[in-house]
Structure 1
Amino acid sequence: MTDLAGKRALVTGGGSGAGAALALAFAGAGAEVVISGRRAEALAATAARHPAIRCVQADVTDETSVKAMFAEAGPCDIVVANAGAAESAPLGRTTLEQWNAMLAVNLTGTFLTFREGLAQLPGWGRLIAVASTAGLKGYAYVAPYAAAKHGVVGLCRSLALELAKKPVTVNALCPGFLDTEMTDRSVANIVEKTGMTAEAARATLAATNPQKRLIQPAEVAAAALWLCGPGSEGITGQALAIAGGEV
């Protein structure tokens, strides 16, 4: 069991999905947890599930907002850049606005979170990005998202080398399709565009995993806890696929 008593963890996008699972796992391991996001109601609902969790409303695409987020959170030993979004469309019908939006939340948001998080690290630290298998391979119709997640993996690898002589590790967690609200939206999009049933659409996504299932948010949280526990000191600059063998 990882003991995080005396540590403070910040999780962006902590109001739902993997972010909520990460927050609850860190709190369960004894850490003080700060979750952030744009949706105050979702943040409050997650914070209500454990007394060690508090919330800060913030937008990771905005530099001023990220600075304010850390100022309110206080020094954080563990920083998880989890906030993200996905949209699907053929590249030929993808607007510049859509492209920029995907890079802003998925890549620039990680950069801003890591940069500010690093600046206030008290010493020992863990910087973790929740990327995706889309950061390790391509998927059709999500080129901007995949490009952003590839960028996140590159960011983690480069920053890990910069910090190699310090007690700070930097890693990316790369889950396949998760059983979360984001995947629910992907299912709805498939249904709308193909006429497929929701059950069939979900099965299509699950089929990308050789285990023929969606990854559970708790599996991402378990991997994050491992990266924060004893014996993880040499694990840095890695992109860890949580995808049933897909990658």
Structure 2
Amino acid sequence: MSGLPRSSHALVTGGGRGIGRAIASALAQAGATVTVIGRNRATLEEAVAAGAAHFAEVADVADEAAISAAIARAGDRQPIDILIANAGVAESAPFAKSDVALFRRMIDVDFMGVVHAVQAVLPAMKVRPYGRIVAIASTAGLKGYAYASAYSAAKHAVVGLVRSLALELATTHITVNAVCPGFTDTDLLADSIDNIMKKTGRSHEQAVADLSRNNPQARLVTPAEVADTVVWLCGEGAGAITGQAIAVAGGEV
């Protein structure tokens, strides 16, 4: 399997924790210079101090001007070859209780956050000799989940964007793919587990089992498993892989 090009620069949104941090760390270990972007400066700086990334920029992906400026600063240090559009939020509610504000939050962060990041990196990436764009979607972008209509709709939009953009860029050196994790063992999922426990009175073990029941392997996915898939897609050996939405979900999809 071919690795990353020498001296490549990877940018990871939402790279301070969870899946994003695991991806940043894996890319750094594979030889890339890594810049992480997120909203919490302390979290980002801790990731840099721990060696999971080399540089950090503070920005909210839902803020087009802020994310564009952050990416421009990162690109001024070193042109960007790899974008991992990972930043996202997840909220659940029955459809009848999902107001317009909830749908807008999911679309603004989970979908438009990807759009803003891609639009910011693409012009310069087109003139580079190498380009990889990977959006972190979800199995919710490949199937429906009850009580997650807004989140699922936003993630479906990400997958549609990836498939369309891959066709537009198919004759270039840039590939565009989505990685779609199932329920993954992160602090974001821990919040969901706490909510299940509070609302249903179930134990922690019961709540985890409830989230794992859709996975035929009967377990949660690990951030490292998602990161390994991303690193492979960013490597030179994955040049023919584009427009794909790859589930990392134990056979769920």
TM range (shorter): over 0.9
Query: Segments of 4+ in structure 1 off by > 4 A?
Result: none
- Cα deviations across residues 69-99 of structure 1 (Å, max 9, x unaligned)? 1111112100000000000110101111111
Q: Distance in 1 between matches of 2:4 and 2:134?
A: 17
Could you tell me which residue of structure 2 aligns to residue 128 of structure 1?
134
**Residue type at the aligned position of 2:82:** I
Name the residue aligned to 2:174: 168
2:91 to 87, 92, 116: 87
Question: Within 2, Cα distance between the matches of 1:117 and 1:217?
Answer: 25
> What secondary structure does 2:119 align onto?
helix
Q: What SS does structure 1 have at the residue aligned with 2:15?
A: coil
**Structural RMSD (CA):** 1.1
- Report the CA distance between 1:4 and its aligned residue: 4.2
Instruction: Indicate the residue corresponding to 1:114 in structure 2.
Output: 118
Q: Write the distance in 2 (CA, Å) between the matches of 1:43 and 1:52.
A: 9
Q: Is the 8 A contact 1:160 1:236 kept in 2?
A: yes
Aligned to 1:232: 238
The one of 84, 102, 112 aligned to 2:106: 102
Cα shift at 1:194: 1.0
**How much identity, in percent, do the aligned residues show?**
51
2:25–2:52: 8 Å Cα contact kept in structure 1?
no
- The answer (yes or no) to whether the contact 1:31–1:52 under 8 Å persists in 2 is no
Contact 2:21 2:52 in 1 (8 A): no
SS across alignment from 1:205: helix
**Residue aligning to 2:30:** 29
Tell me the distance in 1 between the aligned counterparts of 2:49 and 2:146.
38
Kindly indicate whether the alpha-carbon contact (under 8 Å) linking 1:79 and 1:126 is maintained by their aligned counterparts in 2. yes
Distance 1:51 1:225 in 2: 14
Q: For residue 197 of structure 1, what is the aligned residue in structure 2?
A: 203
User: d(CA) in 1 for partners of 2:61 and 2:124?
Assistant: 17
Does structure 2 conserve the Cα–Cα contact (< 8 Å) formed by 1:178 and 1:214?
yes
Partners of 1:20 and 1:206 lie apart in 2 by 22
Equivalent position SS for 2:36: strand
AA aligned to 1:57 is: V
TM-score, with structure 1 as normaliser: 0.97
Is this contact kept in 1: 2:47–2:53, CA < 8 A?
no
Task: Decide whether aligned partners of structure 1 residues 51 and 108 sit closer, same or farther in structure 2, where only a CA change above 3 A counts.
Answer: closer
Aligned residues: 247
Tell me by how many angstroms 1:60 deviates. Answer: 0.4
Q: Tell me the equivalent position of 1:213.
A: 219
User: What TM-score, normalized by structure 2, do the two folds share?
Assistant: 0.95
Hey, what's the Cα distance between the residues in 2 that align with 1:92 and 1:103? 18
Distance (whole Å) between structure 2 residues aligned to residue 43 and residue 85 of structure 1 = 17
Structure 1 unaligned blocks of 5 or more? none
Unaligned runs of 5+ in 2: none
Shift of 1:207: 1.7
SS in structure 2 of the partner of residue 231 of structure 1: helix
1:105 Cα offset (Å)? 0.4
Instruction: Check 1:51–1:143 CA distance in 2 against 1; reply closer, same or farther (3 A cut).
Output: closer
Report Cα offsets for 1:84-122 as digits up to 9, x if no partner.
Answer: 000011010111111100110000000111111112212
Provide the residue aligned with 1:148 in structure 2: 154
In 2, Cα distance between the equivalents of 1:19 and 1:138? 23
